[in-house]
Chains A and B, each alone.
Chain A
Amino acid sequence: MRRQFNQRDPIYLQLIDYFREKLVSNQFKPGEELPSRREIARQFNINPNTVQRAFSEMEEMSWIYTEPHRPSRVTQNTELIQKIKKDFVRRAVETFVSSIQTIDISYEEVTELVEKELSKRNYPNGGIKK
């Protein structure tokens, strides 16, 4: 696995984005052990101090927690995870709305397109529920 990082944005933020994606898509489960910082540095071929920085930030936000001499784990706070998911969707909606806001189209047409798009997909980890 070699994730392509962007050279112009801080790598620790891109790494946090990566964890956010894993978290909101349930690929990281509550309480799950994370790989060590060094393992992540090796996997992505990035500076270990940068990985440390991302972990510190995520600890600060309580996404992960670390007990002494143990690997870090994903938070078990389901309320917090729910909030992260909602923020993630809100950001995606913001992007979506701002990219189509100059278009002359009715609300009904947009929702119809959204429905159509949804029906095309199959979500293994949940997906949008009616």
Chain B
Amino acid sequence: MIELIDVHKKYGRKKVLDGINFTVPKGEISTLIGVNGVGKTTILNHIMNLQPVTKGEILIDGEKHHPGIYDKVSFIPDAAITLPEMRIREAMDFMGSFYETWNKKRAEEMLGFFRLNKDDKIKTLSKGNVAKVNLLLGLALDVDYVLMDEPFSGIDIFTREQISEVFTSYLVENKGVLITTHEINEIEFIVDRAILMDEGKILREFNVEEIRETEGKSIIDIMRDVYSPYSDRISNYEFDKQ
């Protein structure tokens, strides 16, 4: 499990993260939800140790960060990570020579799964196909945890459906998955846990099936409660008048 313990981040005086606590268990899909700029990507960067925290601790299977962690966690960012001149197969070879955990067979399978042509140059690909290449490169690593930054943003509906199939497939089986998103429709039925953030803080963390069972609410209902506490009163008021 990945544990974040009282994580703070400041840029000068600006607080980006203000005491973040949560865990990413194995075998579950967790999602960090919040509008742009609340610190979701910063959290992923911290987990990967790409930027230092101001205060607090991040443990991966009980260990503090060390280079071996990169064999345990893979990070799939929302922008192209390969050189635009590369062909897909060159990017795959590059990953294969860099990571011992590269699973060549799975990478080849995913080319079919995503219907990608490995001779295509990265710079000629659509945004949706660049996202698929990123997923391929990240998911072909034999790791225990996968972090994905906004896997659905700015991507057409059919590609989104294809990407959402990743989460019900063997590709993430038994792994601890953490995705950030502000598009809820895609993930409502896919995730185990939702973590709602605003302004560097966690406002609410819950198991989505449990909330449906105990409160009869969807993720979006809980978001309404948390982010706009008066919306309920307004809609009841209008309903009473009729």
Residues on A lying within 8 angstroms of B by beta carbon are 5, 7-13, 38, 41-42, 44-50, 53
- A13 CA to B209 CA in the complex, in Å? 10
Q: Please state if B216 and A9 are interface contacts (CB–CB under 8 Å).
A: yes
Contact among B27, B29, B169, B192 with A42 in the assembled complex (CB-CB below 8 Å): B169
List CB contacts (< 8 Å) of B66-104 with chain A.
Answer: none
- Nearest A residue to B190 via CB reads A47
Contact among A13, A38, A42, A47 with B189 in the assembled complex (CB-CB below 8 Å): A47
Residues on B lying within 8 angstroms of A by beta carbon are 27-29, 161, 164-165, 167-170, 173, 188-192, 209, 212-213, 216-221
Given contacts A11-B209, A11-B212, contact A46 B190 (CB under 8 A): yes
Residues of chain A within 8 A (CB-CB) of B161 are 45
Q: Please state if B216 and A47 are interface contacts (CB–CB under 8 Å).
A: no
Q: Please state if A8 and B168 are interface contacts (CB–CB under 8 Å).
A: no
Q: Please state if A8 and B190 are interface contacts (CB–CB under 8 Å).
A: no
Residues of chain B within 8 A (CB-CB) of A41 are 168
Residues of chain B within 8 A (CB-CB) of A47 are 29, 167-168, 189-192, 209
Given contacts A7-B218, A7-B220, A8-B212, contact A49 B168 (CB under 8 A): no
Residues of chain A within 8 A (CB-CB) of B189 are 5, 7, 11, 44-47, 50
Q: Please state if A45 and B216 are interface contacts (CB–CB under 8 Å).
A: no
Interface centre among A9, A44, A46, A48 (most CB of B within 10 A): A48
Q: Please state if B221 and A8 are interface contacts (CB–CB under 8 Å).
A: yes
Interface centre among A5, A10, A12, A44 (most CB of B within 10 A): A10
Given contacts A10-B213, A47-B191, 17 further A-B contacts (CB under 8 A): A5-B189, A7-B212, A7-B218, A9-B216, A11-B209, A38-B169, A38-B173, A41-B168, A42-B169, A45-B161, A45-B164, A45-B165, A46-B189, A47-B29, A47-B209, A48-B168, A53-B209
CB-defined A-B contacts under 8 Å, sample of 10: A11-B189, A11-B209, A38-B168, A38-B169, A42-B168, A45-B168, A45-B190, A46-B190, A49-B28, A50-B209
Given contacts A38-B168, A46-B190, A47-B168, contact A8 B217 (CB under 8 A): yes
- A47 CA to B212 CA in the complex, in Å? 14
- Nearest B residue to A48 via CB reads B168
- A80 CA to B209 CA in the complex, in Å? 28
Residues of chain B within 8 A (CB-CB) of A45 are 161, 164-165, 168, 189-190
- A7 CA to B221 CA in the complex, in Å? 9
Residues of chain B within 8 A (CB-CB) of A50 are 189, 209
- Nearest A residue to B172 via CB reads A48
Q: Please state if A10 and B209 are interface contacts (CB–CB under 8 Å).
A: yes
